[in-house]
Structure 1
């Protein structure tokens, strides 16, 4: 019996790790999974639902091999030009921004737009696993009615007051091609978070003449709700294989909002044999006063407002002898905030004169001496008031 016990004890000792005279709990590394195996298990994703699919147009091969070779030689000659290098070092080199942007759009621009759209989860919320590289440059400009235009880039902020009317849209196209332009809001549905609102849908556009297209859904201004943060609005340009008739009811500006409920993924699945996404532009917007007017005058309904009620801060029970805590700040925690604000207001009104200009602020507040008999907590209090720190700003 004793020999059996010794054998079991010896086998348990062998399985334990002893490091610096301490036994380490758990199994030895030879019996455990590696970190990579554990991470692969935690981050496992089904390839059937996570594999991304490119649904866009392929890149047009405008540049052949000879042109690419000549372009590389041109870049080498620019780098070897000492005069250009000297101008660049002295911050005197001038370049044509229009030419630089044109070069960017023809080289790395579409791929960088796709990366930015992935960052904002545009493709994920539009098509799920689908994505596309916007090789067709889509220019969208909102008229500000003051002689200037506000462009839609990749995620810039445009207020609802700046987007009350439909924008000017431009892109490069042949006259014999047909296009579809769709504008949807990814974050603004009032009843279903998985759905969108279609704000503009124009089909069978000949070339780039938007005004000659068939308007299926009239333009509707953005209306991000108050308290819900930034909303994403996305323009997508689709190239048609021919004349297309969409199974979507015609929506006018007087139609109820419920008729604008839209789901881009389902709509594209129904028409993917006839259209292909080619261009992309999107912006973010935030609530302003025009949204309230939109709900009251256009929708004839009360505007929903979302607010967050912050919980009251925790205040620990009072102590008999609080150590290393400023006297005035400690006592103010347990006083009525209204009484504290009243004291600051009375102090401010005491020095206000309705008939004279207020005295100029101290040029060097911290250099003004305070009475030596003043306690340290009160000195700190006076310095904060002079510098405009703390609760004095709440009054």
Structure 2
């Protein structure tokens, strides 16, 4: 009896143990890959495909954290500053703060923002640069100035005329300024429209530079959303002959304004170095209709997204827990429904009389209990000013 019971217990305990070991035991630790090795394989990136190169100037060296802490500690211990702060007479020189930021942290901040907006990837591929030369760009519209920062929105009507561009430079140096749009080309993929190109600028005097392409305002087509307009300032090592690129002025043929910043830089990379960057976003506004017709002498392009028809399940004979009228409207012609709501709204309107005064307390008025629930709901919406009928 004991031997039989022992054999039964042995099989009941041993068989599950064998199955457990059969399915979970893997390779020994010396042969199997560790978790760290598997994650490294999954996250591996080929360095030859993701190598970024700096084609600009070296960024300024940021101050050491220890020196900044010492300076802040000295300011906190200043009795004079504390007295001015308590008496609300402490003034912060914002212009001096901005100048300090432009020469210390601005190149790093502007580069980070430009990477976020994909500026370097779309214009220079795997290259980037630090904008060490601050640009002050202002569009003037009437008595208002619209500055260009880093991605702010400026409408085409506000950018219809060339902006005022300022930057600090030696009068004996030469510069090239371009304004390009990488998002709005109509016929070529990965191509840009050059909106402005001035080369061989002595110092900051744009009027004495060589105008290769005259200024053309942004013209984002209807339905294309926001487009980037990017200013890039290049420092020249010597005077460059741009005569082969020069176009007629004014140049209003869009085919002649096709441009690629990367190709331009590769052609002149021995003589130019990108130093300044600023850009804004723009989208369609009504002023562009006249611009397309009377300036560009072309039909205005308009783009609309073709939404797919929504999926509607087959009708049921006895739908439950669904409003009767809304359920039926799913399977009707939408134009017929719109017409019905419009006529329903006009039915209670008189062309020469004021509309009826709305109820002060709409839910306080009773509704006949014999009316179907879906019709009660529509009457409540009509009293409260809710629903589709109020959209017309």
So what's the TM-score if we normalise by structure 2? Answer: 0.83
Secondary structure at the aligned position of 1:357 is classed as: coil
Q: Which runs of 5+ in 2 are unaligned?
A: 1-16
Query: What secondary structure is seen at the aligned counterpart in 1 of 2:48?
Result: helix
Shift of 1:203: 1.0
Task: Please state if 1:155 is matched with 2:151.
Answer: yes
Q: CA deviation at 1:276?
A: 0.9
Task: Say whether residues 1:199 and 2:195 are aligned partners.
Answer: yes
Of 354, 367, 371 in structure 2, the residue corresponding to residue 371 of structure 1 is 367
Return the match for 1:137 from 109, 134, 137. 134
| Distance (whole Å) between structure 2 residues aligned to residue 82 and residue 342 of structure 1 | 76
Relative to structure 1, the CA distance from residue 341 to residue 245 in structure 2 (aligned partners, 3 Å threshold; closer, same or farther) is same
**TM-superposition CA deviations, 1:271-302 (whole Å, max 9, x none):** 11111111100111111233333332233232
Return closer, same or farther for 1:298/1:42 CA change in 2, 3 Å cut-off. Answer: farther
Partner of 1:169: 165
Deviations 1:116-151 (CA, angstroms, capped at 9, x unpaired): 110110001111111111121111111102x11101
Q: Which residue of 2 aligns with 1:324?
A: 321
2:220 corresponding residue in structure 1: 224
Structure 2: how far apart are the matches of 1:204 and 1:182? 12
Distance 1:202 1:36, change over 3 A: farther
Q: Give the distance between the partners of 1:387 and 1:89, measured in 2 at CA.
A: 54
SS at structure 2 position matched to 1:302? coil
Residue of structure 2 equivalent to 1:16: 23
Query: SS of the residue aligned with 1:204?
Result: strand
Quick check: which has more Rg, 1 or 2?
A: 2
Q: When the two structures are superposed, what TM-score results if normalisation uses the length of structure 1?
A: 0.83
Cα distance, 1:36 vs structure 2: 5.7
Give the aligned partner of residue 48 of structure 1: 48
1:76 aligns with 2:73: yes
2:251 match: 254
In the TM superposition, residue 244 of structure 1 has moved relative to its aligned partner by 2.0
1:355 counterpart residue number: 352
* 8 Å contact from structure 1 (residues 114, 134) kept in 2: yes
Is there any run of 5+ residues in structure 1 with no aligned partner, and where? 1-9, 19-26
Change (3 A) 1:12 1:272: farther
8 Å CA contact 1:187, 1:193 repeated in 2: no
Please give the alpha-carbon distance, in whole angstroms, between the structure 2 residues aligned to 1:385 and 1:88: 59
Going from structure 1 to structure 2, the CA distance change for 1:316 and 1:245 (only over 3 Å counts) comes to same
Aligned to 1:277, the other structure's residue is in SS state: strand
CA-to-aligned-CA distance 1:36-93 (integer Å, 9 cap, x gap): 65555555433223111111122357x999xx98765442233456997899899997
Is the contact made by 2:252 and 2:296 (CA closer than 8 Å) also made in structure 1?
no
Instruction: Return the offset for 1:35.
Output: 6.2
Contact 1:16/1:28 (8 A) holds in 2: no
Within 1, Cα distance between the matches of 2:37 and 2:196? 48
Partner-residue secondary structure (3-state), 2:327: helix
Aligned to 1:5: none
CA distance, structure 1, for counterparts of residue 240 and residue 138 of structure 2: 26
Give RMSD over aligned pairs: 3.4
Q: Deviations over 1:309-337 (max 9, x none)?
A: 21222221111211111122112212232
Match of 1:113, SS state, is helix
* Residues 1:241 and 2:256 are matched in the alignment: no
Give the total of aligned pairs: 374
Q: Give 1:210's aligned residue.
A: 206
Retained in 1: the 8 A contact 2:235–2:274? yes
Q: Is the 8 A contact 2:60 2:104 kept in 1?
A: no
Cα distance in 1, alignment partners of residues 383 and 76 from structure 2? 57
